[in-house]
Amino acid sequence: MASETDDVDEKDVFISYSHSDSKEVAKLLGQELTSMGIAVWLDDIEMSIGSSIRESIDDGLTQSEYGVVILSKGYFEGTSEWELNGLVEKHTNEDDVILPLWHNIGHDYVYQQSPSLADLVAEEVDKENVQSVAASIYQIVREDRGEIDDWGGDTGTDGSPGFIDIDITFQGRFDPKVGKEVTIESWRNHNASNLTSLEATEIRDEDRGIDYTSSSKGTTMTVKRIDDEPLNGVISDIQELRSNKAEFTIRVEESRLEELSDDRDDYKSGFVQ
């Protein structure tokens, strides 16, 4: 199996999976993690009998902090018992750097393939819960390295991933890219206490350290000033991009948004200074 780690920048996580039955969910998981600001490398290697899964894991972890392994029937079919034991050994000997996921299989099936692998704490993943699983991985990556006690736990009482998407409109020159970290330094809110759709008047591209100012910053309208409380998030989607206008979505931690006032008295018409 050829290694593709050469010339790859260091990532937060790499995702190892089988093309035969988990390619779609792996790509969805990668997209969700990227939209949360996690640097992802997808292990784009087709698993087949004789392929060295252990070698792939070793190569991936030289470029990444954590390895997400999506275990499925196709994954087990392309993996020898020696390789499976190697996964467990690496997990236990290297500060729990491997995060196992089960795709369309259960504990009994995993146990039949590898009792020791079945003992590792894992989460089930499919197309319906991929955002919640991504949130669990996000929490692990953002915690102190090696502290992964929450792995496999609930992300919230209602199953929410702890993030909220905010639609942003920006009048001016700006080049949004999915996965880019931005800070909305100041913004206008056209619908008073509704904070899910905003017009940004000042944006900072955190990756490049560049500030952008809207061409319509000085116009009068309903405004909520947050110059001292900027919103920081990661671009998760792009709706429209023209030379003088950008419409995109940023993903913000829900707890941060809840800190902002929803009192209508805090909203007033005027110029943004």
* pLDDT for the residue numbered 142: 76
83 is catalytic: yes
Query: For the residues 236-258, what does the mean pLDDT come to?
Result: 85
Query: For the residues 203-220, what does the mean pLDDT come to?
Result: 82
Which is higher by pLDDT, 259 or 148? 259
Domain boundaries, the chain: 11-142, 163-270
Query: For the residues 152-172, what does the mean pLDDT come to?
Result: 67
Fold for domain 11-142? Rossmann fold (3.40.50)
Residue 114, pLDDT above cutoff 90: no
Strand order in the sheet with 11-16: 40-43, 11-16, 64-71, 98-102, 123-124
Average pLDDT, the chain: 76
Between CA 218 and CA 240 the distance in angstroms is 23
Query: For the residues 115-119, what does the mean pLDDT come to?
Result: 86
* pLDDT for the residue numbered 229: 66
Confidence of residue 204 (pLDDT cuts 50, 70, 90): very high
Q: Residues 83, 185, 199, 253: which is the catalytic one?
A: 83
The pTM assigned to this predicted structure is 0.68
Confidence of residue 156 (pLDDT cuts 50, 70, 90): very low
* Poorest-pLDDT segment among 114-118, 183-187, 249-253, 262-266: 262-266
Which is higher by pLDDT, 92 or 145? 92
